Amino acid sequence: MKRYGTLAVLSLLSVSLAIPAMAQQTGEATYKAKCAMCHGPDGTGNTPVGKSMKLKSLKSPEDIKATDADLFRQTKNGVGKMQGYASKLTDAQIQDVVTYIRTLQK
């Protein structure tokens, strides 16, 4: 009986560790499809569109200090010249993009 309990705990642990990795992969794909054309593959905004819109880097101190909720809200509703993605992405997709942006900031 104890063996099944250990197996259950190990299974739950492995699933909980895999979920962030899956979110990062999904967030990366969505970022590349929807965000990179302006923000660049590295998030610096060093693209023709990013330069013309005068985008600040996602690695800026302001974006690093921003909460995940702030980045989520900006992505969903838009900010400055950036359109909102509320009608184009699900909340889960937006959260995955925020998770991926955090990896770019490291």
36-87 pLDDT per residue, tens: 999 999 999 999 999 999 999 999 999 999 999 999 999 999 999 999 999 9
Is 3 domain-assigned?
Answer: no
44 is written with which tokens?
A: 């610096």
What is residue 18's predicted lDDT score, i.e. its pLDDT?
47
Query: What is the total count of domains within the chain?
Result: 1
Q: How far apart are CA 76 and CA 99, in angstroms?
A: 14
Q: Which residues pair with 79 in a beta bridge?
A: 82
Is 6 domain-assigned?
Answer: no
What pLDDT, in 10s, does the model give residues 40-54?
Answer: 999 999 999 999 999
Is 8 domain-assigned?
Answer: no
Is 58 domain-assigned?
Answer: yes
Instruction: Look up the CATH number of the domain holding residue 100.
Output: 1.10.760.10
Is 37 domain-assigned?
Answer: yes
Is 55 domain-assigned?
Answer: yes
Q: Which domain, by its residues, includes 60? A: 20-104
Q: In this structure, are residues 36 and 46 in contact, taking their beta carbons and an 8 Å threshold?
A: no
pLDDT of residue 25 exceeding 80: no
